[in-house]
Amino acid sequence: MKHNHLIQYINQHFKVKLILTLSVIIIVCSLITGYVSYRVNVNLFESEISKQYLKTSEQTIQQLGFKIQDMYRITDFVFFHPYVEQIVQEMSAEPAEGESGAYRNFLLERDLANILLPLKNETPHIRAVYLVDLQGYNMYYSQSNPSIQVTFPDFYEKVKNGRKDTSAELVWQRMKIPDSSEPSGEKSSLVAARWLKSTKTQTVYGMMILIIDEAFLGNSLDPLLAGRTSGAYIYDQFNRLLYSREPEGRPGIEPKLETKEATVIQHHNGDDYLFVKSVFEPRSFTLVSGISLAEIKAKGLSVYHLAIFSGFVSIILMAVSVSLFSGRMLKPLHVLVKAMQRVREGNLRVVIPKTSNDEFAFLAESFNKMVTDIQSLIQEVYVSKLSEKEAELKALQAQLNPHFLHNALNSIYWKIMLLYDDDETAALVTSLSELLRYSLATVTTPSTLRDELAQIRNYITIQEARHGEELYVHIEADETLAECQMQRLLIQPLVENVFVHAFQNQTVNKRLTIRALRKDANMLIEVEDNGCGMHPDTVMKLLADQNMYDGSRERESIGVRNVIRRIDLVHGEPYGLDIVRLPTGTLIQLMLPYNIDHTREGAMADDTNTAS
């Protein structure tokens, strides 16, 4: 009994039947795709990517360590050489009575050069070697590149300030070395300095300074930077950044050494980066290199592709399953959809028969009642409202130029499609809004040259979005004419005419110039273009026929003829419009009276003073 009641409940509720069917399908599909994705992820995370990167980092720090050890060996040769100490100290001592100090130093320098001769050939990356006394005076130098232009004792003081200790440890620094061969006059180099101490008395008697090319450390980082890394950074024994090398084409990320862990994850610009730290224990030098976790995850695109494929398989399985199992269940819905389509086409005599007792029966009854109510209300409300809307639309269309409105909206449409949600598109919409607001005012509404030019700029903004970079517009106006009164919408039809006709077949180098200047007691406005020009017969017809009513249309033409007629009706002679044919393009001249509303001008001045 309970079993029959449950079946009856399911049969009476479409939602229950649909949920049960789709749930079974989704569960089966999820099990299949989930298991496949799981196996792929297991295989991916079992790869050796992270181990290989760690191994490469350790090999790199070992190579760097061997090079650093070579520098210690080279400086040890000088540090522990007994004759070097003796020669340097004798060069600092006062010459004996009757002995030439210059000749003595020459002999000592020659002996020192012979002792240190093998040092020049130790490594090609050593650009210069200097031995200086405690006052910073150079006792010996050897330069592989004569373009190095360091001066002593100034250079000695900079190196000494960077050490901050008195031990015999070799201390490394990264400095800008004056170099005449570089366009900037400086070259970034590594400077390794070591105090020279007496092996007997342990007193400091000088300093050894090595200038080393950055390639000394940088070449060893090539294998580490072969992949998609975030950069490599070498720190000295004092945890100071000694050298960094970042990947080409994108900025590197310098990690923060705030942990003793061999690996550390840091967050930067929305992404997580894994940094690997390797230490050369004999000299406490540290190499830190990083790799983006997003880069590692990108290698799992096969999982993503497989998930997409599985999703399509699930959709196909679900579509087939729904087609096979839900056709009968969805039949009432199909009937309802077809009935609504017939109502949409205008057929209000549709009636849906009742075939079940579930929710579709309620929808069918509601639909039939709705159609009946529409039939009774359509005569009372719909016809009258439709007539009012058509009248309002016709009145609005009578004030607008459909050609311009079409082009403007078309420009905005493509601008939004290509550059979604940008400032330029917002400015375009604002310009159109201001232009429409201005155009909807009656022609008799007072206006000024400033207002007219403001709307012309809005119009040009829209046209610039449509014509692109090949449109060049220049507007210049005498500031004294800004508040000069004029009829509304005199300039806009002329500018619109340029884009509709002059630039109709022109694709490049479209130039439009609008000028407003004072001529005697009048105001002269010029609109000049480099378009296709007007035919002489067209010019004569426009200037001769001043009848602005077009009998073929039920509205006044808003164009050149309209402007000519309006100026003649309001001002008469000698004001009007003239058309001059140019070698390339057309020049239209408007002669208007110079008339300023001093009341408005004074009010604007008061507003300016108040704002100040």
pLDDT digits (tens, 9 = 90+) for 538-550: 888 888 765 544 4
Q: Measured over all CA atoms, what is the biggest interatomic distance in the chain, rounded to whole angstroms?
A: 135
What mean pLDDT comes out for the span 514-543?
90
**Cβ atoms of 497 and 463 closer than 8 Å:** no
Q: CB-based contacts of 472: which residues, under 8 Å, 6+ apart?
A: 509, 510, 511, 512
pLDDT at 551: 44
Q: What token pair was written down for 233?
A: 């950074």
**Cβ atoms of 260 and 42 closer than 8 Å:** no
Sign of CA dihedral 306, 309, 313, 318: positive
User: 271-280 and 285-292: which strand pairing?
Assistant: antiparallel
SS3 557: coil
SS3 586: strand
pLDDT-based confidence at 11, cuts 50/70/90?
Answer: low
DSSP symbol at 364: H
Cα distance between residue 206 and residue 137, in whole Å? 9
Percent helix, strand and coil across the chain, each to the nearest 5: 50, 20, 30
Closest among 443, 461, 464 to 453, alpha carbons compared? 461
What mean pLDDT comes out for the span 347-358?
75
Of 158-167, 292-301, 590-599, which gets the smallest average pLDDT? 292-301
The neighbour count for residue 332, using CB atoms within 10 Å, is 21
What are the tens digits of pLDDT across the range 191-210?
988 888 887 778 888 888 88
Q: CB-based contacts of 224: which residues, under 8 Å, 6+ apart?
A: 56, 57, 60, 232, 289
Estimate to the nearest angstrom the gap between the alpha carbon of 145 and the chain centroid.
Answer: 44
Q: What token pair was written down for 55?
A: 């191994």
- How distant, in Å, are the alpha carbons of 211, 229, 467, 553 from that of 239? 21, 22, 59, 86
Cα distance between residue 379 and residue 373, in whole Å? 11
Of 68-77, 209-218, 418-427, 443-452, which gets the smallest average pLDDT? 418-427
pLDDT at 526: 95
Closest among 527, 490, 524, 494 to 594, alpha carbons compared? 524
Q: What token pair was written down for 136?
A: 């910073």
pLDDT(252) > 90: no
Cα distance between residue 579 and residue 255, in whole Å? 71
Could you give the count of Cα atoms lying within 13 Å of 430 in the half-sphere of its Cβ?
Answer: 8
What mean pLDDT comes out for the span 177-187?
86
pLDDT(397) > 60: no
- DSSP states along 210-268: EEE-THHHHGGGTTTTSSSEEEEEEE-TTS-EEEEE--TTS-----------SEEEEEE
**Cβ atoms of 226 and 248 closer than 8 Å:** no
**146-161: buried (b, 16+ CB within 10 Å) or exposed (e) per residue?**
eebebebeebbeebbe
Q: CB-based contacts of 455: which residues, under 8 Å, 6+ apart?
A: 434, 435, 438, 439, 492
pLDDT at 399: 45
Cα distance between residue 287 and residue 70, in whole Å? 18
Q: pTM value?
A: 0.45
The neighbour count for residue 434, using CB atoms within 10 Å, is 16
Cα distance between residue 279 and residue 394, in whole Å? 82
Cα distance between residue 518 and residue 482, in whole Å? 11
Question: What is the chain's length?
Answer: 612
**Cβ atoms of 190 and 243 closer than 8 Å:** yes
Judged by phi (left if over 0) then psi (alpha if -120 to 50, else beta), residue 4 lies in alpha
**Cβ atoms of 153 and 137 closer than 8 Å:** yes
Of 179-193, 220-234, 395-409, 456-470, which gets the smallest average pLDDT? 395-409
φ/ψ of residue 341, rounded to 5: -65, -40
The enclosing H or E element of 363 equals: helix 359-377
The enclosing H or E element of 135 equals: none
Identify the residue with better confidence: 337 or 522: 522
